[in-house]
Chains A and B, each alone.
Chain A
Amino acid sequence: MGQIEFKGKQFEVDEDGFISSFDQWNPDWVEYVKTSEGITDLTEEHWKVIHVLQDYYKKHGIAPMVRILTKVTGYKLKYIYELFPSGPGKGACKMAGLPKPTGCV
């Protein structure tokens, strides 16, 4: 675990750069992570994906399946990769402050 300080806020992160709990999340986190995920400018579309992930996580306690994310946002998977080059798991979930994907990855 490591500590990161950005704009006066503290974030506790693991080796993969995921924050250790969802409660730590705030919009500055997204600003901090974006460059390491290959994003220069955050658009409303980025935020839409992030908010969909967060709403789903708050309601169900897990991240949605890829198919649900594409359905709810209306973005095709290809477009989600255009927004988040490292993909919905490593990119979008990390920025949204969700726990790190697990299983056979």
Chain B
Amino acid sequence: MALKHATPMLDELEKGPWPSFVTDVKRMAPKNRMCEDWLGIMEMSYRDKEGHWKHGGIVGVLGYGGGVIGRYCDRPDLFPNVAHFHTIRINQPASKYYTTEVLRKLCDLFEPRGSGLTNLHGSTGDIVLLGTTTDQLEPIFYELTHEMEMDLGGSGSNLRTPEGCLGMSRCEWSCINTQDIIYDLTMEYQDALHRPMFPYKFKFKASGCPMDCVAAIARSDCSIIGTWRDKIRIDQDAVKAYAAGELVPHAGAGGREKRAFDITAEVIDLCPTKCMEWDGKALKIWDEDCTRCMHCIRVMPRALRPGVDTGATILVGAKAPILEGAQLSSVVIPFMKMEPPYAEFKEFVEKVWDYWMENGKNRERLGEMIQRVGLREFLKATDLTPDPRMINTPRYNPYIFYDPAEVPGGWEHDGVAFRQRHQA
């Protein structure tokens, strides 16, 4: 069936081995007028090298301040079916495990009420329904909540949809139950997620170990990263099997090429703190010097495992460049046990929010506020004690502030007494 608009440039993207989004949308187009016009407006953008969506858009559902991203095309005369093309964010199950039943229901819900196009998933984690009209928002929300027991995700100056790595569901390195943490935080802070109350957006992400498969350190204002504080568990026989070439290093991630595994060159010498020793018979690790970078565990997963006294490192402040430059999260709690109901963690979070809501400027991310007020003030506000593990290096400049209460005599000085000792 011929489509309404010619798309010579998009057609090029149907070539090649990678799954083509153009082919996918074209398959929907004969039965969905929005898809047809979407292809048309995309082709126009490819030709003109300009976006064709108007600025902003404020739509939503009653009771919530976010969850829907309003969008209108700037040529409704040419592409009337995408005049409205709003995006709906739906809160996904932690780590994105589904049954086909749920996905089918979701498709059946959305296809007649929008474009049928989706993004699985948005980079924050949400299921994204791409393209619907304002009058469909409340009906979609009604069916979502009443028939599927699913809710919208976050948007705006609020808590955004939290997400974690798949954690203990199928990874032997996970030190914390990331899925339970994410679900628990999502449910606990529903109000903060649906009704914007913050100076700006705020994100949680939880990774089971420092491999950080959900990129918590880079993409969340509060990063929860699993770790341990006892010894790495060593199976010496398995180490020998790796050294003898019986087990494949990196679980085979090095490719199919058969090669001898050099444990000294690939593990011992690459350890960042050089706290390992291999004498050909036994592997020794000086755990007190280990920074738990995961390298040796990753190379020999069947021989080495994280310890059993597990918890998480809490880091804060990651953000993209706007306004003051990109930041990764920095350590503020080197180790915290993470067990339900996560009371200690939530106490910390609420102190952070109280302080940030009071002191954060309009559209100032947490990381920028800490940059502005200083880590010291942030630690004071959250009742944390400064710790060498919170810094990479001590400061090099001598512009050091003291609390007047800690300086004998304070800041009040008698100028007359000074002049009696020193002539002008």
Known: A65-B362, A77-B197. A86 touches B72 (CB 8 A): no
Question: How close is A3's CB to chain B, nearest CB, in angstroms?
Answer: 16
Q: Do residues B62 and A103 form an inter-chain contact, with CB atoms below 8 A?
A: no
Q: Do residues A105 and B197 form an inter-chain contact, with CB atoms below 8 A?
A: no
Question: How close is A57's CB to chain B, nearest CB, in angstroms?
Answer: 14
Q: Which residues of B contact A86 (CB under 8 A)?
A: 60-65
B178 interface residue (CB < 8 Å to A) = no
Choose the segment among A19-27, A45-53, A87-95 that binds chain B (4+ C-beta atoms closer than 8 Å): A87-95
Q: Do residues B156 and A81 form an inter-chain contact, with CB atoms below 8 A?
A: no
Q: Which residues of A contact B191 (CB under 8 A)?
A: 78
**B65 touches which of A15, A87, A103 (Cβ 8 Å):** A87
A100 interface residue (CB < 8 Å to B) = yes
Q: Do residues A16 and B59 form an inter-chain contact, with CB atoms below 8 A?
A: yes
Q: Is the interface of A mostly helix, strand, loop or mixed?
A: loop
Q: Do residues B70 and A38 form an inter-chain contact, with CB atoms below 8 A?
A: no
Q: Do residues B201 and A104 form an inter-chain contact, with CB atoms below 8 A?
A: yes
Q: Do residues B363 and A103 form an inter-chain contact, with CB atoms below 8 A?
A: yes
A7 interface residue (CB < 8 Å to B) = no
Interface centre among A85, A87, A88 (most CB of B within 10 A): A87
Q: Do residues A100 and B62 form an inter-chain contact, with CB atoms below 8 A?
A: no
Q: Which residues of B contact A29 (CB under 8 A)?
A: none
Interface centre among A18, A78, A104 (most CB of B within 10 A): A104
A59 interface residue (CB < 8 Å to B) = no
B55 interface residue (CB < 8 Å to A) = yes
Tell me how many residue pairs across A and B have CB atoms closer than 8 Å. Answer: 71
Q: Do residues B69 and A67 form an inter-chain contact, with CB atoms below 8 A?
A: no
Q: Do residues B363 and A16 form an inter-chain contact, with CB atoms below 8 A?
A: no
B357 interface residue (CB < 8 Å to A) = yes
A66 interface residue (CB < 8 Å to B) = yes
B208 interface residue (CB < 8 Å to A) = no
Number of interface residues of A (CB under 8 A): 25
B306 interface residue (CB < 8 Å to A) = no
Measured CA separation A89–B57 after assembly (Å): 12
**A66 touches which of B69, B196, B358 (Cβ 8 Å):** B196
Residue of A nearest to B66 (CB): A105
B253 interface residue (CB < 8 Å to A) = no
Q: Which residues of A contact B201 (CB under 8 A)?
A: 104
The interface of chain B, by Cβ under 8 A from chain A, is 54-66, 69-70, 72, 84, 155-157, 191, 195-199, 201, 357-358, 362-363
The interface of chain A, by Cβ under 8 A from chain B, is 15-16, 18, 37-38, 62, 65-67, 77-78, 81, 85-90, 94, 100-105
27 interchain pairs (CB within 8 A)? A15-B54, A15-B57, A16-B58, A16-B59, A18-B58, A65-B199, A65-B362, A67-B357, A77-B195, A77-B197, A78-B195, A81-B65, A81-B195, A86-B60, A86-B62, A86-B63, A86-B65, A87-B65, A89-B156, A89-B196, A90-B58, A90-B59, A100-B56, A102-B56, A104-B155, A105-B58, A105-B156
* Given contact pairs A87-B60, A90-B59, A94-B58, a sample of 19 additional A-B residue pairs in the complex whose CB atoms are under 8 Å apart: A15-B54, A15-B57, A15-B70, A65-B199, A65-B362, A66-B157, A66-B197, A67-B197, A81-B195, A86-B61, A86-B65, A88-B65, A89-B65, A90-B65, A100-B58, A104-B155, A104-B156, A105-B56, A105-B70
